[in-house]
Amino acid sequence: MEFWALPPAAREEGFAELRATAPVSWHRQPESQLLPESEGTGGYWAVVRYEDVREISRDPERFCSSRGVMFEDIPAELLEASQSFLAMDDPRHAKLRKLVAEAFKPRAVKRIDEGIRADARTIVDDLGGQFEGDFVEAVAKRLPMMTIMRLLGVPEEDQEAVLWGVDAAVSWNDHEFLAGRTPLEVVGESMTIMTEIAYRLCAERREQPADDLITDLVQADVDGEQLTDAEISAFLVLLSVAGNDTTRHTTSHAMRALCDFPDQRALLLDDLEGRIETAVEEFVRWASPVMTFRRTATQDTEISGQPIAAGEKVVMFYPSANRDESVFERPNEFDIARSPNRHVGFGGGGAHFCMGASLARTQLAAIFTELLGRLPELEVGEPAYVVGNFVNGIARMPFSGEGGIRTLEAG
Ligand code: HEM
* pTM, entire model: 0.95
Tell me 300's DSSP state: S
DSSP 211-253: SSHHHHHHH--BTTBPPPHHHHHHHHHHHHHHHHHHHHHHHHH
Exposed/middle/buried for 259, CB within 10 Å: 0-12, 13-18, 19+? middle
pLDDT tops 80 at residue 405: no
184-193: pLDDT as tens digits: 899 999 999 9
Ligand 1 pocket, Cβ-based, cut-off 6 angstroms: 57, 85-86, 97, 148, 238-239, 242-243, 246-247, 250, 284, 289-290, 293, 318, 345-348, 350, 352-356, 359-360
Q: Using a pLDDT cut of 90, give the percent of the chain over it.
A: 79
280-293: pLDDT as tens digits: 999 999 999 999 99
Return mean pLDDT, the chain: 93
Predicted local distance difference test score (pLDDT) of residue 289: 97
Taking a C-beta distance cutoff of 8 angstroms, is the pair 236, 194 a contact? yes
**At 411, is the pLDDT very low, low, confident or very high (cuts 50, 70, 90)?**
very low
Q: What is the number of helices (H) and of strands (E) in the chain? A: 16, 12
Per the document, the length of the chain is: 411
253-280: pLDDT as tens digits: 999 999 999 999 999 999 999 999 999 9
Taking a C-beta distance cutoff of 8 angstroms, is the pair 319, 392 a contact? yes
**At 134, is the pLDDT very low, low, confident or very high (cuts 50, 70, 90)?**
very high
205-247: pLDDT as tens digits: 999 999 999 999 999 988 898 999 999 999 999 999 999 999 9
Predicted local distance difference test score (pLDDT) of residue 410: 40
**Long-range contacts from 326-331, C-beta under 8 angstroms, 24+ separation:** 326/49, 326/50, 326/51, 327/50, 327/51, 328/285
Predicted local distance difference test score (pLDDT) of residue 33: 83
- Compute the average pLDDT of residues 360-381: 94
27-42: pLDDT as tens digits: 999 988 888 888 888 9
Distance 356 CA to ligand 1 centre (A): 5
Strands 313-317, 44-47: pairing kind: parallel
Phi/psi class of residue 153: alpha, beta or left (left: φ > 0; alpha: ψ in -120 to 50)?
A: left
Taking a C-beta distance cutoff of 8 angstroms, is the pair 70, 79 a contact? yes
338-351: pLDDT as tens digits: 999 999 999 999 99
148-180: pLDDT as tens digits: 999 999 999 999 999 899 888 888 888 888 889
Q: Which of 289, 316, 244 is nearest to 388 (CA)?
A: 289
pLDDT tops 80 at residue 409: no
Distance 350 CA to ligand 1 centre (A): 12
Q: Which atom of ligand 1 is nearest to the CA of 144?
A: 27
Rounded to the nearest 10 degrees, how much is the dihedral formed by the CA atoms of 138, 141, 143, 145?
A: -130
Distance 242 CA to ligand 1 centre (A): 6
The residue whose CA has the least distance to atom 39 of ligand 1 is 352
Counting ligand 1 atoms within 8 A of each CB, the residue from 162, 346, 361, 392 with the most, and so the one to mutate, is: 346
Q: Which of 393, 303, 323 is nearest to 22 (CA)?
A: 303
